[in-house]
Structure 1
């Protein structure tokens, strides 16, 4: 599980994540490793995933009652090892969540385009975000300008 230096601000909420992706153990491990959700949100999301497993439900409940973050982390990471989706896809899902989050909170930043560049760098310069990087060359047959970039950002954030 790769850790990123980038941290979303404000931090993601459980409700935002639930509304935008079908969370699995790999997602929880990623969010936990990168501190993109608080521990309480991770515990609540884990409880939903564990509903069909009495042992996991009980273990998670005990960890929450005892405020035992290490036990919670251990359970999440153990379950994530069984997760079959490649880490790259989990990373991309969280990157797109970050794009959406930034779009929804862009007015809280003096320069949201700079934040997009930080996100782009943190995720290893994915070409899927090149259209949001102000200084990247664009084909001569495409429109230019901040309005066009905002339209592209909106499209990425709402897809």
Structure 2
């Protein structure tokens, strides 16, 4: 709903030179849901850059890598992220882990979450099965969770 609301907003501009903020529509939460998470036969997997079997990577790390690949695309195709260091870019993390799994490179960006946590180590999280949470090493070192969660 957030994405649709932003698209319909009277404050939206098609001219990036006058935009105050940029919303990056990345659906990383889909990598966390057991209902829509890509499986070995998922139709999107051939289009995703893989240097290892992605189905063996913890779900939070998969989502984090997906956002990182999206960031790589934004940085290589548009000048606006690099111009501000990402400070005017908004990313949503609509799942229980929130921005814990955001790539560290987004540390200057605006992170939209539903919990609003501001501690480094939240007291609870959704780790459905052992080894699948955002706190799994070595992946956590690449995520914002190693700095602070929101």
TM-score (ref. length: structure 2): 0.29
Which protein has the bigger helix share? Answer: 1
TM-score (ref. length: structure 1): 0.28
Choose 1 or 2 for highest CA Rg.
Answer: 1
Which protein has the bigger strand share? Answer: 2
